[in-house]
Amino acid sequence: DAGVTQTPRHEVAEKGQTIILKCEPVSGHNDLFWYRQTKIQGLELLSYFRSKSLMEDGGAFKDRFKAEMLNSSFSTLKIQPTEPKDSAVYLCASSLVPGLNTGQLYFGEGSKLTVL
Amino acid sequence: GDSVTQKQGQVTLSEDDFLFINCTYSTTTYPTLFWYVQYPGQGPQLLLKVTTANNKGISRGFEATYDKGTTSFHLQKASVQESDSAVYFCALDTNAYKVIFGKGTHLHVLP
């Protein structure tokens, strides 16, 4: 079975550009998460979808970050406009049924974003 | 609110040393607790999981015990290998959708 697939693996953007990161969750998984990972803050939840419905829109990340789930097998994370402080690894994860305390997340390999 | 604390940012050991990574948590629920491991260039992957029904998790030589009294979930391994070098995350699932991660502990094992 295919795991979580993220593209691109690396992205370099100029300040002010728009970038779109893509994610394909594990087939059959109902829940999809976007996390940002930095050395200082660790793993921060950006967005969460349950059965394609947006359940968490990221609080402090709302203004320039927008995640969408176009169908059950594809999600995008748009950052617009990018700022140097957005440089991080963006991780997508999926889960079968986290609400039943299984909690196991399956992560992709991440998209490393560098904003100049 | 719910939280997970890993105070050790980095641990450096030699092969065959004993590993101990500290993790404490805070929640009003009866959570499921996890350790995830992240190797370079990869996303985190589940190492072991412990629920309120079973107090100890064991996987690949690692073990963690769920201690409700001290609200701790420390990770241990008797003898580390160079291949264990990675970042280890303690995580908490409070039966909501949100899994809360600690900041991670970077383990560096010298050959």
Q: What is the pLDDT of residues B35-82, one digit of tens each?
A: 999 999 999 999 998 877 778 889 999 999 888 888 889 999 999 999
Of residues B85 and B95, more confidence is placed in B85
pLDDT at B86 over 70: yes
Residue with tokens 């176009």: A70
**pLDDT of A107:** 96
Question: What letters, b where the CB count within 10 A reaches 16 and e where it falls short, cover B9-34?
Answer: eebebeeebebebbbbbebeeebbbb
Put simply, the answer to whether A55 touches B102 (Cβ < 8 Å) is: no
Question: What integer pLDDT is reported at residue A46 of this predicted model?
Answer: 92
CB contact under 8 A, A107 and B44: yes
d(CA B25, CA A1): 34
pLDDT at A54: 87
The 8-class DSSP code of residue B96 comes to S
pLDDT of residue B34: 92
For chain B, give the percent of residues with pLDDT over 90.
63
The answer to whether A105 faces chain B, any CB pair under 8 Å, is: yes
- Shortest distance between the Cα of A17 and any Cα of chain B, in A, equals 25
The three-state secondary structure class of A98 is helix
What pLDDT score was predicted for residue A32? 92
Q: Do A98 and B99 touch (CB under 8 A)?
A: yes
**Residue B95 and residue A102: Cβ atoms within 8 Å?**
no
pLDDT < 50 stretches in chain A: none
pLDDT at B3 over 60: yes
Average pLDDT score over chain A = 90
Q: Which residues fall within 8 angstroms of residue B19, CB to CB, at 6 or more apart?
A: B11, B13, B62, B75, B76, B77, B80, B84, B107
Q: Which of A103, A106, A110 sits opposite B34 (nearest CB)?
A: A103
pLDDT of residue A21: 98
- The residue written with tokens 């030589």 in the block is B61
Tell me which chain B residue has its CA closest to the CA of residue A108. Answer: B43
Q: Tell me, what's the pLDDT at B51?
A: 78
Report CB contact under 8 Å: A93, B43. Answer: yes
Helix (H), strand (E) counts: chain B: 0, 12
pLDDT at site A103? 65
